[in-house]
């Protein structure tokens, strides 16, 4: 895929356009397609900038709408928390409480990496939490690729 033309060329084109030069003459002088000059002019009029937009298309999220909202509400995340102890890891505590309650509305737990259960001082503690989830019918799976 080609790279967008530099901001310098885009701005020089717009300066010449503002001075009244024709699109074809600008394109010829800067060695760009006339359609580029027209598109930059339209972009500047619409957004106030000639900066290039996102390249590669606008891919819609795979999960969106009500499903995405449900999924976000079901996430248990302790970002940036030390995994040495369960204390201070409110999201993991909430997950374990929900699993133990027997009212969990999920059958699987996705974990980024099995080490994310925690870096507990007792190596078996992470395995214990994984076992509790498995016994309650919520098997965990990790993405270690």
Total count of domains within the chain: 2
- pTM exceeds 0.85: no
60: in domain: no
Rounded-to-integer distance, Cα 138 and Cα 4, Å: 48
pLDDT tens by residue, 81-122:
666 777 778 888 888 898 888 888 878 887 776 666 666 777
Choose among 48, 37, 46, 45: nearest CA to 5. Answer: 37
Both 79 and 33 in a single domain?
A: no
Q: Is the dihedral of CA 72, 73, 79, 82 positive or negative?
A: negative
Domain of residue 24, residue span:
7-47
Both 71 and 134 in a single domain?
A: yes
């Amino acid at each position: 895929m080609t790279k967008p033309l530099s901001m310098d060329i885009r701005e020089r084109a717009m300066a010449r356009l503002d001075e009244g030069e024709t699109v074809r003459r600008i394109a010829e002088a800067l060695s760009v397609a006339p359609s580029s000059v027209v598109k930059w002019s339209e972009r500047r009029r619409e957004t106030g900038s000639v900066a290039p937009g996102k390249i590669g298309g606008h891919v819609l999220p795979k999960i969106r709408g009500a499903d995405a909202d449900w999924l976000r509400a079901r996430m248990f995340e302790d970002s940036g928390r030390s995994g040495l102890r369960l204390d201070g890891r409110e999201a993991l505590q909430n997950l374990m409480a929900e699993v133990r309650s027997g009212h969990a509305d999920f059958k699987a737990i996705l974990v980024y990496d099995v080490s994310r259960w925690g870096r507990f001082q007792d190596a078996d503690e992470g395995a214990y939490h994984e076992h509790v989830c498995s016994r309650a019918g919520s098997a965990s799976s990790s993405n270690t690729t």
